[in-house]
């Protein structure tokens, strides 16, 4: 299984030439050149995790691709004409060569005055967990964690606690577009400290770089 990181929270996972796209949002380059897509997972409805343009481009290149997300995603995409298969915490769905296990229900708190939206993370083929915008510790082992590292809802100490609780064998940072180059380096060092303390390792992927899992 090969995972390619794109800008911010977007990932493309490939197995035997078939692909799964996760969270193609507005901080990510257009993914219109990504083909052989079986499914698109959107963890929650915020525009840095999906846009109509990204979905339109992916479906034009991959008209049979299924879209999956929690109820809030289904409502938001339904308003602009996209059909979404609703998933929630505990669901397991087969999409092409991908077994998707979903965990979590709510977005992390940004501020008490702002409403919390649905957020459901996904474990791909019992290997790679993308939590979306949450600190949900899933009820299963996480060999590889896509670790959010910068966001309005994110405090680095909480992100460290989250990585320590999940105890991945390997982690790589995502959700970095709100950080400066200096800030990214500082936050990576903090995540690396707790992951390595538990016996794991951290790999930093630039947008467009891939990792064999």
- Read off the CATH number of the domain in which 195 is found: 3.60.15.10
pLDDT of residue 7: 98
pLDDT of residue 28: 98
CA nearest to 51, candidates 33, 31, 71: 31
Report yes or no: 3 and 21 within 8 Å, Cβ to Cβ.
no
Radius of gyration of the chain (CA): 16
Please tell me the total count of domains within the chain.
1
- Could you identify the residue written with the tokens 């692909």? 19
Domain span at 17? 2-212
pLDDT of residue 62: 98
pLDDT of residue 67: 98
pLDDT of residue 81: 96
**Which residues of the chain fall below pLDDT 70?**
none
Is the pTM of the predicted complex or chain greater than 0.85? Answer: yes
Helix, coil or strand: residue 31? coil
pLDDT of residue 93: 98
179, 42, 57, 128 alpha-carbon torsion, rounded to 10°: 80
Cα–Cα–Cα angle for 211, 50, 149, rounded to 5 degrees: 50
């Amino acid at each position: 299984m090969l995972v390619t990181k794109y800008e911010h929270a977007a990932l493309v996972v490939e197995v035997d030439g078939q692909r799964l796209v996760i969270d193609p949002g507005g901080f990510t380059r257009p993914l219109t050149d990504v083909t052989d897509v079986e499914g698109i997972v959107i963890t929650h409805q915020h525009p840095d995790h999906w846009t109509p343009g990204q979905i339109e481009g992916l479906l034009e290149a991959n008209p049979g691709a299924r879209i999956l997300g929690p109820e809030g995603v289904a409502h938001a995409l339904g308003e602009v004409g996209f059909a979404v298969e609703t998933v929630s915490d505990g669901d397991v769905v087969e999409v092409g060569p991908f077994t998707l296990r979903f965990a979590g229900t709510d977005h992390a708190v940004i501020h008490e005055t702002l409403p919390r939206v649905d957020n459901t993370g996904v474990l791909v083929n019992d290997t790679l967990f993308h939590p979306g915008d949450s600190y949900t510790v899933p009820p299963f082992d996480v060999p590889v964690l896509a670790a959010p590292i910068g966001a309005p809802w994110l405090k680095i100490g909480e992100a460290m606690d989250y990585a320590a609780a999940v105890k991945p064998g390997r982690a790589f940072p995502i959700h970095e577009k709100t950080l400066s180059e200096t800030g990214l380096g500082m936050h990576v060092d903090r995540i690396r400290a707790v992951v390595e303390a538990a016996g794991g390792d951290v790999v930093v992927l630039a947008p467009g770089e891939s990792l064999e899992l």
